Structure 1
Amino acid sequence: MPPSKSFLIVSSLGAILQSGSVLIDIPVIDETFYGNKIHEYEKELKTRVMFSYEEACEFIGRELMHEQHLSIQAGRQINLPYDKFVNSIRNGSWPKTSHGLRSPVGSVLYDLGWEVAPQISAIPFIDKLLGVIVGFSGNYKVVIHHFKPASNLANLTTEAALLIMECIKYSSGSSKLINSLKGNKLLEDKHGFQNTSGLPEIDNKFYREKIFTYKGELKQIGVVVDFEEAIKKFAHLFKQKASQTSFNQAC
């Protein structure tokens, strides 16, 4: 192997070379053959031999692209059935995501458009360091599919709560989604997070004016949005409190 394609391992290179060797052959200088004395010539070796983390990353990436190019060329020459090849890749759980190894189907390539979604949805994001960007572009279906249990949706930011409203809107009132949200402490009122029914008033300073554009969605999860309905709700709760007080006094 020519020196220009060889590595001399130093501590910072150990992990990256070990990971890369799973995918490609990495030519590491055999220290058992040369002995520790080889390290005395690092200055001379650096003219061609690779030592740095950056060089290791570049080498592994370059070799992977080369291997991919060769496999495509070979496949074309012998007319390999690519549908079977692609399906085997699609169906396997091999990409490392934020939720472990998953199938490529349904996994998401991260960019800033997805920044809020992880608060409410356990989406399997492929490591954003891969450098491929796929925008959010209104992918509410993905967010809903991986929706977290309502018990994990406390103390949401303004953006996350508004994203929930968008998901309800997109789902056209999905009973499964609506039922999972009803009665849970999702929304910030003027006394903290409360469940989505009762008399606490939603904190419009926290959610800003945009919250008022989701009256229909709020109503679906149990929020009182009409004045007449609020009066009825207040009267019902008042009667409950009054009867409880009378019962306690009688006891």
Structure 2
Amino acid sequence: MKEGRWLRTSRGSNSPNGSVLYSEEWKTARQISKIPFIDKDDYGEEIICFKPELQLLGVIVDLNGNYQMVADNLLSSFPSSLTEEAVLFILDCLHHSTSSDKLAKALKSVRCMNTDVGYKSPGECFFSDAEWGCLLKVFNSVPLIDHKFYGSRITTRKNELKQLGVKVDFEEAVNVFVNSFNRQASFSSITKENVFSILSCYRKLKGASLEFPSDLEKCIHEVNWLRTRLGDYRSPRNCILNGPEWESISAVTLLPFIDDGDNFYGKGIREYEKELKKMGVVVEFKDGVEFVAAALYFPLNPCHITSENVFSLLECIRILLQEKDYSFP
């Protein structure tokens, strides 16, 4: 009785061993598989009354971890926009199934993942981790899996997402950011919004337990991406964050102050003084006097040079004289 093909199912006559008694908990599984459910249209609801007997014969009567049954009976093609429940169920199947490779292969090219830019195939998507996901949002250059759509459960299935082809690692996010950053910087198209996003993300990453990859440090520290009052873009180490102590010297110099005018970064840039300093920006007068010698710009009328200007210049000379390795140009 267990092996004979006498039981009518959704896939024709089948043996009890390998058939399933349908219930609501199989509703999601039905979206992605062709499981042989016992034909209730034929037998009627009365068949449910024989649940213990059917189970004794080998019929699967509840889901209860029977994910392998789903993996073994996958549909030959999948809809391009699977429901939230279906995707989460697939991830559960990958987690529990012994033939997860088969399931992953079947879904890799299907545009089944809901992202912030619509449905995409797993290989096109990134999983935005709470710790470093800000990197992926600076330039909005990649599809991010919609966490609100899938809920918190999806965060427990990162390994399964990776198996499908979704990019879930910090290193992959860094590569995307570095490529986008260098490309935007090469066209001088890193916007005010991008800069504040970078600074905010830098603050968050420095506060996390993450080791900064060298290529991420290099692009932030060495690429020309900060706009100055001179109208050009420079690397942090070639910029100065303006402050009251620079006021007297700025009248007789053309210094590369970060553009804090209302039409660009504004005064809000000073909120990131700590981060800018870590990146190499000069934020204190004593650290930027070497800029002065190369940036001197005296007014045509000497009467416009105030005593404050003179004292600031003399203070610069004093500081430079204390540096043994410095030679005046």
The TM-score, its normalising length taken from structure 1, stands at 0.54
For 1:193-208, list aligned pairs within 5 A: 193-198=119-124, 199-208=142-151
- The question of 1:231 aligning with 2:174 is answered yes
Displacement after TM superposition at 1:214 (Å): 0.5
Residues of 2 paired with 1:220 and 1:183: CA distance?
13
CA contact (8 A) 2:111 2:120 kept: yes
Report the equivalent of 2:4: 91
Aligned partner (choices 174, 180, 186) of residue 112 of structure 2: 186
How far off its partner does 1:239 sit? Answer: 9.2
Is residue 35 of structure 2 the alignment partner of residue 123 of structure 1? yes
For the residue of structure 1 that corresponds to 2:122, the secondary structure is coil
TM-superposed deviation, 1:169: 0.6
The residue type paired with residue 62 of structure 2 is G
Q: 2 CA distance for matches of 1:228 and 1:141? A: 33
1:140–1:188 distance in 2 versus 1, CA, 3 Å = same
Distance 2:146 2:121 in 1: 13
Structure 1 residues 19-98: aligned runs within 5 Å: 86=1, 90-92=3-5, 94-98=6-10
SS in 1 for 2:114: strand
Alpha-carbon offset, residue 154 of structure 1: 2.4
CA distance in 1, matches of 2:157, 2:11: 31
CA-CA distance at 1:157 after TM superposition: 1.4
Partner letter of residue 148 of structure 1? L
Larger helix proportion, structure 1 or 2?
Answer: 1
Retained in 2: the 8 A contact 1:183–1:222?
A: no
Residues 220/127 of structure 1: CA separation in 2 closer, same or farther (3 Å cut): same
Question: Any unmatched runs of 5+ in structure 2?
Answer: 52-60, 125-141, 184-329
How many corresponding residue pairs?
A: 152
User: Percent identity among equivalent residues?
Assistant: 43
Cα distance in 2 between the residues matched to 1:152 and 1:164 = 12
- Structure with larger Rg: 2
**Residues 109-168 of structure 1 deviation map (CA, whole Å, 9 limit, x = unaligned):** 11222121101111010034222442211110111110123x324221111111100111
Aligned pair in 2 of structure 1 residues 220, 234: CA closer, same or farther (>3 Å)?
farther
1:144-159 to 2 correspondences below 5 Å: 144-149=71-76, 151-159=77-85
Paired residue for 1:163, among 89, 104, 108? 89
RMSD (Å) for aligned C-alpha atoms = 2.6
Once residues 15 and 165 of structure 2 are traced to their aligned partners in structure 1, the CA distance between those partners, rounded to angstroms, is: 37
**Residues 145 and 239 of structure 1: CA distance in aligned 2, closer, same or farther (over 3 Å):** farther
For structure 1, which runs of at least 5 residues remain unmatched after alignment? 1-85, 241-251
SS at match of 1:96: strand
TM-score, scaled to structure 2: 0.42
- Is 2:19 the counterpart of 1:104? no
Contact 1:173 1:220 in 2 (8 A): no
